[in-house]
Chains A and B, each alone.
Chain A
Amino acid sequence: MINRLSDLEHIRKERLPDLNARRGESGAAPGLQVLVCSGTGCTSSAGRQVYEALAQEITSRGLSPRVRVFTTGCFGFCKMGPLVVIHPGQVLYCRVGVDDVPELIERHFKNGEVVERLLYREPASKESKPHLHDVHFFQAQQRVALRNCGLINPEDITEYIALDGYFALAEVLLNRTPEQVIETIKQSGLRGRGGGGFPTGRKWEAAAAAPGPVKYVVCNADEGDPGAFMDRSILEGDPHSVLEAMAIAGYAVGAAEGYIYVRAEYPIAVRRLERAIRQAREQGLLGRRILDTGFSFDIDLRLGAGAFVCGEETALLRSAEGLRGEPRPRPPYPAQCGLWGKPTLLNNVETYANVPVIIRRGADWFASLGTETSKGTKVFSLAGKIVNTGLIEVPMGTTLRTIVFDIGGGIPGGKKFKAVQTGGPSGGCIPERYLDTPVDYDSLRRIGSMMGSGGLIVMDETDCMVDIAKFYLQFSQDESCGQCTPCRVGVRRMAEILERITAGQGEMSDLDELEELAREVMDASLCGLGQTAPNPVLSTLKYFRSEYEAHIRDKRCPAGVCRALLDYVIDEEKCIACGLCAKNCVAHAITGEKKGRPYFIDRQKCLKCGACLARCPREAIYTA
């Protein structure tokens, strides 16, 4: 139980040697520490089994306690998972399987040799990089919100405390007034990381100024943008940073209760949060009279039930009350009238994760990072057609080119870059000519996209931009709550037009109609979901209009994606006349004789379902 600052200091002193060993700093604990990533990515590629095998072997071979194994949060290098890092030395092993465990034990743990074949190799030079800090993917980053992910065991509160965790809370409770805390957040220039980019300090100020004895602090962990998984990684890798920040916010605005609204689709994050809350309560860092001051604060979880619109703040609050997650008009804003009608401060996970560091290192330090209008760093998830899929954190203002080609390693398979999509269904597709744009809230908005929560999806020449626009519209249509007509009907009409175009039945006048409808949906929708739903269409119409025109005028899909516009053809050279394609063709469009001449697809009969292509053992069927 922690009652005073000296109790926190005691825990930090006790645990610091282990963490120093991992950070390569002096005062390190002796022995080897083995860290196994337990984020969602590595867990689904056998990370858990690797951890269990390591733990069992270390015990059964009597290597304990010289060698200890820990689980840790996401390193961000998901493509190379399951990842194992050995300290001291930060030796990084990639794609480790259960079968590799005996060799790691024998050679590394017993003889101190590095197992060369499991090391990461830089793709260009083929040079192996034994140490995590030598790998370019990590060198190029600056981790603030992700500072503890991959470094601490997220299920052990003492490791968080060892790296100054809960010291920011102690600092504000013991030495600062709520006004001073809000001033620090304002000075830092921190803006909301969930998408809108509203200045966080001003939100806190408004919630603090709202009258009434009962207020709430809420964390939006309903990460919904497809392709964004930074909040999940923070919750899985460093849950206490969010709890600490919410307590600080509670002190600043005068709230005694907090809620984290988290997606039920994130089971690991939910379990880690539950455990973190329990540990913080046991240590007295949540609950009554924290650190023997007059401040009491506790946190509870609310699980989402699968509705994207609940990421919108007013919808989220309704859902947290157990109701249908339907947005309502603003004002009044949640800061005045939020959960159960009380003033409510609502920030997203990544925003909160920045708060303890800002308190500890000062507003000036944070404001020294980033650009004029967007301070600090931003976490981006890299996905789609990119070599290093994963999670990175860089200062605001880093260019898209650096992110995609330098840190991200460019496009795999020698394909050509086409676009990068930011901001999820509310954002847009950015073409090559804007790759040198520094990424911040304002510059992305100027080129017709938005920051969103930081998901970056890279598309190459084989992705059809009309199809992508259709994908996002169908997404928005599925997730529309149905309250207001522009979103419910307008988005559907737009999706139908795109459906026609990709089916080869579009007309040139459809493009004007799309633009007109887009403006109306943007102007007239009730909430952010509808107001931004047309963005993917508008940005692709602006930058990739020729692709739309090819679909309409030439009945051709340049990227070879839109089924109705493709012909399936059998490559006579490759065909071995096995007959599998004909057997699987529901339209009986394929003819031939087993073991005879190559098979043939009748274009008139073909339904373009692609079943033949999927079944062909020789990849002899292609689309043209």
Chain B
Amino acid sequence: MIDLPDEEKEPGEKYRQLEEVIARYEREPGQLIRILQQAQDIFGYLPEEVQTYIAGRLDIPVSEVNGVVTFYSLFHTEPQGKYKINVCLGTACYVQGAREILQEFRERLDLKAGDTSADGLFTVKSTRCLGACGLAPVLTVDEKVFGQFKRRDVAALLRKYRNRAEVKSGDQPVERPGAYQEGAPAGP
């Protein structure tokens, strides 16, 4: 029921794509972060094998690659959910109740230690300020931004994405833009 097109790809195909990325940047100095970013786009995360492969191709120690991967919060060493929810915990969002929203997601998805739900659908994390403070509190699902979000909107959001995951790709329901703006205060 959950279609994960990436998973169906042959690992060989992914490594071929990675090889293209490395070939493009290996001669430029200081492109390790860019290679890792694109490798993560290809594989969805950066497992040990991929880190080892990149280290071998760039002729640098795996420890150096792993040091970079673990330093930056945008790199993941574990598989991520199909939908990545990032709750902004910048100050503006924090004072408007973002912490409660994050907690609500964790409770609803029964997240204890990890950040990914048992069904593999959602990964929920907090993020640094997204710079959309005018719409606080803000969260993103993949690249889509939801502003003026309320704790009580959490259930509906999860339901919507769960339904979407069940629909075969190709006939996804057209979504009304700004559906979560409804609770927004009226203009002055």
- The answer to whether A226 touches B135, judged by C-beta atoms less than 8 angstroms apart, is no
Is residue B92 contacting chain A, with contact meaning CB distance below 8 A? Answer: yes
Distance, CA A463 to CA B32, complexed state (A)? 43
Chain A, 591-616, contact with B by CB distance < 8 Å: what is the 0/1 string? 00000000000000000011100110
> B71 contacts A471, CB within 8 Å?
no
The distance from the CB of B151 to the nearest CB of chain A, in whole angstroms, is: 5
Q: Do A307 and B73 touch across chains, with their CB atoms under 8 A apart?
A: yes
Q: How far is the CA of A315 from the CA of B180 in the complex (A)?
A: 38
Which of B100, B130, B188 has a CB less than 8 Å from the CB of A614? B100
A341 to chain B minimum Cβ distance, whole angstroms, is 12
A41 touching B132 in the complex, CB below 8 Å, given contacts A121-B187, A226-B90, A614-B104: yes
Report chain B residues within 8 Å CB of A506.
none
Report the Cα distance A340→B31, complex, angstroms. Answer: 13
- Structural contact, A322 and B33, CB atoms closer than 8 A: yes
> Which residues of A lie under 8 Å from residue B73 when comparing CB positions?
305-307
Of chain B, the residue at the smallest CB distance from A223 is B131
Whether A45 is near chain B, meaning CB under 8 Å from some CB there, is yes
Interface: B127 (CB within 8 A): yes
**CA of A81 to CA of B152 in the docked complex: distance in angstroms?**
23
Question: Which residues from B are CB-within-8-Å of A609?
Answer: 103
Q: Mark B49-70, 1 if CB is under 8 A from A, else 0.
A: 0000000000000000001100
| Nearest-neighbor residue (CB-CB) of B69 within chain A | A305
B68-110 interface mask toward A, CB cutoff 8 Å, 1 = contact, 0 = none? 1001111100000000000001111011100010011001000
A266-314 interface (Cβ within 8 A of B): 266-267, 302-308
B146 within 8 A of partner (CB): yes
- A499 CA / B152 CA spacing, docked (Å): 27
Q: Which of A242-250, A378-386, A526-534 contacts B (4 or more CB under 8 A)?
A: A378-386
Is the Cβ of A265 less than 8 Å from the Cβ of B130? yes
Q: Is the CB of B68 within 8 A of A324?
A: yes
A389 at the interface (CB under 8 A from B): yes
CA distance A121 to B186 in the complex (A): 12
| B29 contacts the other chain (CB 8 A) | yes
Q: How long is the Cα–Cα vector from A314 to B118 in the complex, in angstroms?
A: 41
CB < 8 Å A-B pair total = 165
Q: How far is the CA of A421 from the CA of B37 in the complex (A)?
A: 34
The residue of chain A having its C-beta at the shortest distance from the C-beta of B90 within the complex is A226
User: 1/0 contact trace for A334-365 toward B, CB 8 Å?
Assistant: 00000010000000000000000000000000
Please give the distance in Å from B45's CB to the nearest CB on chain A.
14
| Assembly CA distance A421 to B31 (angstroms) | 37
Q: Is B169 an interface residue (CB 8 A)?
A: no
* Docked-complex contact B145 and A44, CB < 8 angstroms: yes
> Is the pair B91, A383 in contact by a Cβ cutoff of 8 Å?
yes
Given the complex, which residues of A lie within 8 Å of B103, measured CB to CB? 609-610
Name which residue of chain B comes closest to A300, CB basis.
B28
Residues of A contacting B187 with CB < 8 Å?
80, 94-95, 120-121
When the two chains form their complex, are residues A45 and B135 in contact, meaning their CB atoms are under 8 A apart? yes
- A489 interfacial contact with B, CB 8 Å: no
**Bound complex: CA of A468 vs CA of B95, how far in Å?**
8
A366: interface (CB < 8 Å): no
Beta-carbon nearest neighbor of B71 in chain A: A324
A97 contacts partner chain B, Cβ-Cβ < 8 Å: yes
Min CB distance A277 to B, Å, is: 15
- Contact of A227 with B90 at beta-carbon distance under 8 Å, contacts A45-B135, A98-B177, A232-B131 already known: yes
Instruction: Please measure, in the bound complex, the distance between the C-alpha atom of A579 and the C-alpha atom of B134, giving whole angstroms.
Output: 36
Q: Does A325 contact B (CB under 8 A)?
A: yes
Q: Would B71 and A226 count as touching, CB distance under 8 A?
A: no
CA distance A81 to B178 in the complex (A): 12
CA of A76 to CA of B103, assembled, Å: 31
Residues on B with C-beta less than 8 A from A409 are 188
Query: What residue of chain A has the Cβ atom nearest to residue B107's Cβ?
Result: A611
**Cβ contacts under 8 Å, A40 to chain B:** 130-132, 145
Whether A387 lies near B135 (C-beta < 8 A) is: no
Cα distance A308–B74 in the bound complex, in angstroms: 12
C-beta contact mask, A38-59 vs B, less than 8 Å → 1, else 0? 0011011110010000000000
Is the C-beta of A218 less than 8 angstroms from some C-beta in chain B? no
Contact residue among A227, A463, A610 (Cβ-Cβ distance under 8 Å from B100) = A610
Output the nearest chain B residue to A78 by Cβ-Cβ distance: B134
CB <8 Å contact, A305 and B72: yes
Tell yes or no: B44 within 8 A of A by CB. Answer: no
A155 proximal to B (CB < 8 A)? no
| 16 A-B contact pairs sorted by A residue (CB < 8 Å) | A78-B134, A229-B131, A264-B37, A264-B74, A302-B33, A305-B74, A306-B75, A322-B30, A322-B32, A322-B34, A323-B32, A326-B71, A385-B95, A389-B92, A610-B103, A614-B100
Q: Contacts A78-B134, A305-B36, A481-B71 given; 12 further ones with Cβ under 8 A?
A: A44-B135, A46-B181, A227-B129, A265-B127, A305-B74, A307-B72, A323-B30, A389-B133, A457-B91, A471-B91, A471-B94, A614-B100
The 3 closest A-B CB pairs, nearest first, are A78-B134, A44-B145, A229-B131
